[in-house]
C-alpha cells in the first residue's frame, strides 16, 4: 500500500531506537507498507517506510519493522530514522536498507521440541527452510514496496 500526502506545516515526532525522538515540522511525502494487498500473504514481518520533507528542506526517512507473533497480534519491533540533506540521499538510504538486518535470530521459529537423535534431522531441516523462506519473503516484500514508493516519489515531483 502506498499513500501520497502534501499537507505542510505538521509537527512530527518520530521514535528512534537508541536515541531521543526526532521532532520536526514538515510534511509526509509518501508512505509505503509491505503489509496488505501488495505484500506477502500471511507475512510474519514487514516494513513500513515513510518519507518526509522538513520545513528546512531536509528529508527524513522512517523505516519501521513490524512483527506478527504466532498468536496473530502485531507489534512494532524496530524504528530506524535517517535525516538526509537531499532527496537523492534519502532515496539512496531507502534503496540500500537491508530489510533483514534488524530481525532477531529465529524470529520465524515456533518453539521446537527436538529429540536428541538423528531422527530430529528432518524437523530441523524443515525449520531451517522456513527461516530461509521467511527471510527471502521479507526481502522480496521490501523490494516490491520500495519500487512502488519510488515510483510515487517520481510522480509527486513531476
Q: How far apart are CA 101 and CA 79, in angstroms?
A: 12
Report in angstroms the alpha-carbon separations of 6 from 3, 36, 96, 114: 10, 23, 25, 53
Q: Each residue's pLDDT tens digit in the chain (158 positions)?
A: 566 666 788 899 999 988 999 999 999 999 988 876 555 656 678 889 999 999 988 999 999 988 876 666 767 778 899 999 999 999 999 999 998 887 766 555 444 455 566 666 666 677 677 777 777 888 888 999 999 999 988 887 76
Residue located via cell numbers 528529508: 59
Amino acid at each position: 500500500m502506498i499513500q501520497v500526502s502534501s499537507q505542510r506545516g505538521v509537527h512530527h515526532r518520530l521514535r528512534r531506537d537508541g536515541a531521543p525522538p526526532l521532532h520536526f515540522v514538515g510534511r509526509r511525502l509518501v508512505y509505503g507498507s509491505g503489509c496488505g494487498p501488495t505484500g506477502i500473504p500471511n507475512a510474519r514481518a514487514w516494513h513500513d517506510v515513510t518519507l518526509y520533507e522538513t520545513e528546512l528542506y531536509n528529508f527524513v526517512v522512517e523505516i519501521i519493522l513490524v512483527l506478527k507473533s504466532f498468536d496473530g497480534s502485531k507489534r512494532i519491533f524496530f524504528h530506524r530514522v535517517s535525516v538526509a540533506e537531499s532527496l537523492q540521499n534519502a532515496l539512496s538510504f531507502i534503496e540500500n536498507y537491508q530489510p533483514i538486518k534488524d530481525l532477531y535470530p529465529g524470529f520465524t521459529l515456533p518453539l521446537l521440541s527436538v529429540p536428541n537423535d538423528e531422527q530430529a534431522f528432518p524437523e530441523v531441516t524443515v525449520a531451517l527452510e522456513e527461516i530461509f523462506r521467511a527471510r527471502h519473503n521479507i526481502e522480496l516484500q521490501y523490494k516490491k514496496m520500495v519500487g512502488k514508493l519510488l515510483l510515487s516519489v517520481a510522480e509527486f515531483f513531476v
